[in-house]
């Protein structure tokens, strides 16, 4: 399950292994250090977290109960200023290093170490 929010916009998608794209298919590389401000720096509408959380909870229940059409391979984007939703198809990347035809990444990295190393680059 993917959920994120920033300022007045949020998004959610179901990531279901072997049935749709993985997180790496959507975001092949992390953004460069310092290019994305934190919610503390840029702000986020508090109620937006509730809206995205509700979508994630609903999608989880749909998966558990085996009902409806989960957001597998579909990213839903909510704009709180316009009170509108958009749905975008996210294709599976056949060259994805995680779930593609020839996966190259087979284990997790130490993200704490990775993030601290990236933090040092910013200084």
Instruction: Please list the active-site residues.
Output: 39
What percent helix, strand, coil does the chain show, rounded to 5?
35, 20, 45
**Token digits of residue 64:** 């558990």
CB 72 within 8 A of CB 19: yes
Q: What is the DSSP letter of 35?
A: S
> CB of 52 within 8 A of CB of 4?
yes
Residue bearing tokens 């986020």: 44
**Smallest Cα–Cα separation from 70: which of 15, 9, 3?**
15
Determine which helix (DSSP H) or strand (DSSP E) holds 24, and give its type and residue range. Answer: helix 23-26
């Amino acid at each position: 399950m993917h959920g994120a929010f920033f300022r007045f916009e949020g998004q959610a998608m179901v990531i279901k292994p072997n049935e749709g794209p993985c997180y790496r298919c959507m975001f092949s590389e992390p953004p460069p250090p310092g290019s994305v401000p934190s919610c503390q720096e840029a702000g986020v509408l508090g109620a937006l977290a509730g809206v995205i959380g509700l979508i994630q909870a609903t999608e989880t229940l749909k998966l558990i109960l085996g009902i409806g059409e989960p957001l597998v391979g579909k990213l839903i984007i909510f704009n709180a200023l316009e009170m509108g939703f958009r749905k975008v198809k996210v294709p599976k990347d056949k060259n994805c290093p995680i779930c593609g035809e020839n996966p190259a990444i087979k284990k997790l990295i130490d993200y704490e170490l990775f993030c601290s190393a990236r933090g040092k680059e910013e200084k």
